[in-house]
Chain A
Amino acid sequence: MKKLAIGLYAAVTIALMIWGFYQAMYVAPTDAMQGEIFRIIFYHVPSASVAFLFFAVSLLGSIGFLSYRRSHPQWAQVADAWALAGAEVGVVFCTVVLTTGPLWGRRAWGIWWTWDARLTTTLVLWLIYVSYLLLRRFAAGPQVQTLAAVLGIFGALDVPIVYMSNRWWRTQHPAPVFGGAQGSGMDKSMLGPFMWNMLAWFCWGVFILILRYNVERKHQLNAEAEAQEALEANA
């Protein structure tokens, strides 16, 4: 039953990805101002949204770990697995944002990169979560999870700053399309393809997030069993 549900979800997600690609490439009309290059938005913006969402998952997991690490160690391990999965999958999506953005910028602005507030805060966000992953990978000792949880909470503080950066400061990055100033928004003919891609990337993100969580849980259970066996062997 579980395998069937996973297979069905994966099939729906793949169908949505193909449909989203078709909508982005062949249904959405060419932008009058930007031309073809605007189609990068169909991958760039959903990736940024999913990255923000997963950094929020990491934040909740980190808070959960710190809250339960003494009272309910098993719950704390589950929360920690979500924190790690959220951070890692978030970094993958943030990497997509930081590569598709400059590709768009090169054609639209004539430059790959500029140190404006939106781009810089996004890079800082990416660096914070990469350092989170490096800490988890290379540091050893009983405090690693606690240190990582604290770093995960501080990293998440950058998310609202990234989101608000092109509202608070004048940036080269385009003004917000949704929830921006008067006259902002997207034409109906582009909104449909955009929403399909949002849905598709969200489903894909959730799929790999759950997969990553399960890998981490398996790793934790293996490590726990190994430690138990070592204790029994020494007793």
Chain B
Amino acid sequence: MDQAAILDHQFVIAAYTVTWALQLGYLAWLAVKWGAEKRAAARRTNNSR
């Protein structure tokens, strides 16, 4: 592989990595938010008893 091809490959890997970092980061944030909403609902149910 010549230098340009190696650099192209590195840029492709960077693009794929950034894509997955953004998507999985967002998924993790959604999971945290979902957990917080669930806890809030449980707290409310406990308080109303």
Chain A interfacial positions (CB closer than 8 Å to B): 21, 25, 35-37, 39-40, 43-44, 47, 89, 92, 95-96, 99-100, 103-104, 106-107, 204, 208, 211-212, 214-215, 218-219, 221-222, 225-226, 229
Query: How many inter-chain residue pairs (CB < 8 Å) link A and B?
Result: 76
B1-45 interface bits toward A, Cβ cutoff 8 Å, 1 = contact, 0 = none: 000110111011011101100110011001001100110110010
Chain B interfacial positions (CB closer than 8 Å to A): 4-5, 7-9, 11-12, 14-16, 18-19, 22-23, 26-27, 30, 33-34, 37-38, 40-41, 44, 48
Question: Contact: A47 with B5, CB < 8 Å?
Answer: no
* Given A36-B12, A219-B37; A43-B5 close (CB under 8 Å): no
Instruction: Please classify the interface of chain A as helix (H, G, I), strand (E, B), loop, or mixed, using the class held by over half of its residues.
Output: helix
B-side contacts of A211, CB under 8 Å = 27, 30, 34
15 sample A-B contacts, Cβ–Cβ < 8 Å, listed by A number: A25-B12, A35-B5, A43-B19, A47-B19, A100-B18, A100-B19, A103-B11, A103-B14, A103-B18, A107-B7, A208-B23, A211-B34, A212-B30, A215-B34, A222-B44
Selected contact of A96 from candidates B8, B22, B34, B44, CB within 8 Å: B22
